Amino acid sequence: MKLKGKIAVVTGGARDIGKAVSVKLAAEGAKVVVNYYSSEEQSLETLKAIHDAGGEAIAVRGDMTKQEDVDELVTRAVKAFGEQIDILVNVAGGLVARKPIEEVDVEFIEFIMKLNVTSAFMVTKAFLPCMGDGGSIINFSSQAGRDGGGPGAWAYAASKGAISTMTRGWAKEFGPRNIRVNALCPGMIATTFHDQFTKDAVRANVAAATPLRREGQAEEVADAVAYLASDESSFLTGVNLDINGGLFFS
């Protein structure tokens, strides 16, 4: 229970990696605010898993690219658990589609950046006044942000590279307030993300090329989040932590 008494907010916290993070933080003693947008059924399943294990959580629907929804998330979190937020995990985002440059227009680029980068900025700025001494912010970058991504994913990769850089900048800016900022860079994790966007043959080839010879699991990523959220990582900030089974070394 290394997060006992802590309050955590997880954007995109209702499915896949986000769900695993929400459940793990609750299992470690945190009270969790689970944000979701289109995954209402999964949000209920996530709450049930937390409550069945004796944890505390609420679910709040909201589009993190819209300021009014971000503000509502802050309001609901404070109303439920008090004015201090200890942990913020920015999971919300997505690839949207794989496209070669010939099929990409300005609107698509702007949407990808808004979904992955601007949303993290909006949420972090909104919650920052609630974060006190010892707070921890965990962003989600990607292996794609390290190596440019797979076919047609360069726009997504660019947005995740921006997250990695923003993480380093925030670590410098927020450090004097004793608020740490780190990011995770997951590789091939077995989630509906890859069910939707990555062919089975490609996934098998990636797993075979990975030193650990498999895909990662959402729960393994959640374990890393819990570590970065806890005092066990109290001297880590500005870190972009690779979690890819040894497939890519930064």
Positions marked catalytic: 156
DSSP letter, residue 234: T
Indicate the SS3 state at residue 227: helix
**Radius of gyration of the chain from Cα atoms?**
17
What six digits make up the tokens of 185? 């860079």
The residues near 52 (Cβ < 8 Å, ≥ 6 apart) are none
The residues near 30 (Cβ < 8 Å, ≥ 6 apart) are 3, 4, 6, 7, 8, 86, 87, 229
- Residue 181's H or E segment, with its range, is strand 180-186
What six digits make up the tokens of 161? 């590279």
Pinpoint the alpha helices (H) of 8-153.
Answer: 16-27, 40-52, 67-81, 106-113, 119-127, 143-147
Cα dist. 101→104, 113, 141, 156, 201 in Å? 5, 16, 22, 12, 24
Q: How many CA atoms lie within 13 A of 93 on its CB side?
A: 27
